[in-house]
């Protein structure tokens, strides 16, 4: 099937904005840097990359008659906040399993930011003591069973909407959208930098470019601090998505393991420095979990020349700003 043949419910405004980061480019003195702003892609609870993925899962949930969206993530999960937003938009119930993925001491960490927005959106959150992991968890399965036994019809959405048969389609569509924007702006991006954790964002890009016959260097920046798991997830989801699009992958999976700061959800000084630089040159707000780490990678790769000065590089901003509220001690 072609991408256009897969049902989706539009939940975004349209193409996410694409613009040059001129002051950051001048500061780094290397490759020309642009951004594509998934943080501005939707009116649903501050948008972000998860909304783009959920367009396809939402269509499937409605088509199969489900009445409750069920998902899982950390306490400050951008994904679970997005699931809550989509459920509210579609008039569905929502139950979220919020695991303690991050050992972070801020006293309001489990009360503000994404978890606060999920409450406002009407979702029910269950807090579970369990470490970071992108696999299927017992607590998640228990919620699905309880809803079944109560006569409901749950729709299971894994962490990050990633390890789902349709999880890569949103960013396959992103790839097609980007190629159209490039043609309109008469520009071509040699390198794309994107945060990677549960895998389907980077994987969808790879499958989407393959379906278009486009060759791109997509650098995934590991933010999980479990790069072997992330790399395996990207490869698995990319191949599965390519099969849905009746194509085969052409670009290798590149995952840079140098910027995860040693733990999921915990920033180091390089992360915080990158966040400050992006904010003070471009008023571009990044978060400590994902975008601060991918921004740290971009800054280092451009300033050291690992990304050549002749390149035009695209920074993919995936959203996540609400989580900043849980990091008041360092930001």
Q: Catalytic annotation on 273? A: no
Give me the domains of the chain, ranges plus CATH numbers. Answer: 3-47+165-327 (3.40.50.1100), 59-161 (3.40.50.1100)
- Which residue of the set 16, 42, 71, 77 is catalytic? 77
Residue 218: per-residue pLDDT: 98
β-bridge partners, 313? 33, 191
Q: CA torsion sign, 101 to 47 to 238 to 3?
A: positive
Residue 129: per-residue pLDDT: 78
The three-class DSSP label of residue 237 is helix
Q: How many CA atoms lie within 13 A of 74 on its CB side?
A: 25
Q: CA torsion sign, 217 to 240 to 114 to 140?
A: negative
Question: DSSP per residue over 166-196, as a string?
Answer: TTTHHHHHHHHHHHHHHHHHT---SEEEEEE
d(CA 148, CA 156): 12
d(CA 188, CA 180): 10
- Asked if 260 and 228 touch (Cβ cutoff 8 Å), the reply is no
- Strand order through the sheet with 217-222: 18-20, 32-37, 312-317, 191-196, 217-222, 254-256
Residue 131: per-residue pLDDT: 61
d(CA 219, CA 194): 6
Tokens of 178: 């980007």
Q: What is the pLDDT along the chain (331 residues), one digit of tens a residue?
A: 899 999 999 999 999 999 999 999 999 999 999 999 999 999 999 999 999 999 999 999 999 999 999 999 999 999 999 999 999 999 999 999 998 878 888 889 999 999 999 999 999 999 987 665 555 567 888 899 999 999 999 999 999 999 999 999 999 999 999 999 999 999 999 999 999 999 999 999 999 999 999 999 999 999 999 999 999 999 999 999 999 999 999 889 999 999 999 999 999 999 999 999 999 999 999 999 999 999 999 999 999 999 999 999 999 999 999 999 999 989 8
DSSP E strands in 25-99: the ranges are 32-37, 68-74, 93-99
Question: DSSP per residue over 53-69, as a string?
Answer: HHHHHHHHHHHTT--EE
Residue 279 CB contacts under 8 Å (≥ 6 apart), including other chains:
285, 286
Size (the chain), residues:
331
Q: CA torsion sign, 125 to 129 to 135 to 138?
A: negative
d(CA 248, CA 245): 9
d(CA 316, CA 311): 16
* Helix or strand run (H / E) with residue 275: helix 269-282
Q: What is the pTM of this model?
A: 0.95
């Amino acid at each position: 099937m072609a991408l256009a043949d897969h049902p989706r419910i539009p939940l975004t405004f349209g193409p996410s904005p694409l613009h040059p980061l001129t002051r950051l480019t001048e500061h780094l003195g290397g490759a020309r840097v642009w951004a594509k702003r998934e943080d501005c892609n939707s009116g649903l609870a501050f948008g972000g990359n998860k909304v783009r993925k959920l367009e396809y899962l939402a269509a499937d949930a409605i088509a199969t008659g489900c009445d409750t969206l069920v998902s899982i993530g950390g306490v400050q999960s951008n994904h679970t906040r997005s699931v809550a937003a989509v459920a509210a938009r579609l008039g569905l119930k929502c139950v979220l399993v919020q695991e303690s993925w991050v050992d972070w001491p801020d006293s309001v960490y489990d009360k503000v930011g994404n978890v606060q927005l999920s409450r406002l959106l009407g979702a029910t959150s269950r807090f579970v003591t369990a470490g970071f992991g992108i696999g299927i968890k017992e607590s998640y399965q228990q919620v699905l069973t309880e809803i079944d036994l109560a006569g409901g019809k749950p729709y299971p959405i894994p962490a990050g909407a990633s390890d789902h048969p349709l999880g890569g389609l949103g960013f396959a569509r992103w790839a097609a959208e980007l190629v159209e924007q490039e043609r309109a702006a008469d520009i071509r991006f040699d390198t794309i930098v994107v945060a990677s954790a549960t895998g389907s964002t980077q994987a969808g890009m790879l499958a989407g470019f393959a379906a278009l016959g486009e060759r791109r260097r997509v650098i995934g920046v590991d933010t999980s601090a479990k790069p072997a798991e992330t790399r395996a997830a990207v490869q698995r989801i990319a191949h599965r998505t390519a099969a849905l699009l009746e194509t085969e992958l052409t670009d290798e999976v590149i995952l840079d393991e140098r910027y995860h700061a040693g733990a999921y959800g915990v920033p180091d000084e390089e992360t915080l420095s990158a966040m400050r630089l992006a904010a003070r040159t471009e008023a571009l707000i990044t978060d400590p979990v994902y975008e601060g780490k991918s921004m740290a990678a971009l800054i280092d790769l451009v300033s050291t020349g690992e990304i050549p000065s002749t390149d035009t590089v695209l920074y993919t901003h995936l959203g996540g700003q609400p989580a900043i509220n849980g990091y008041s001690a360092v930001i």
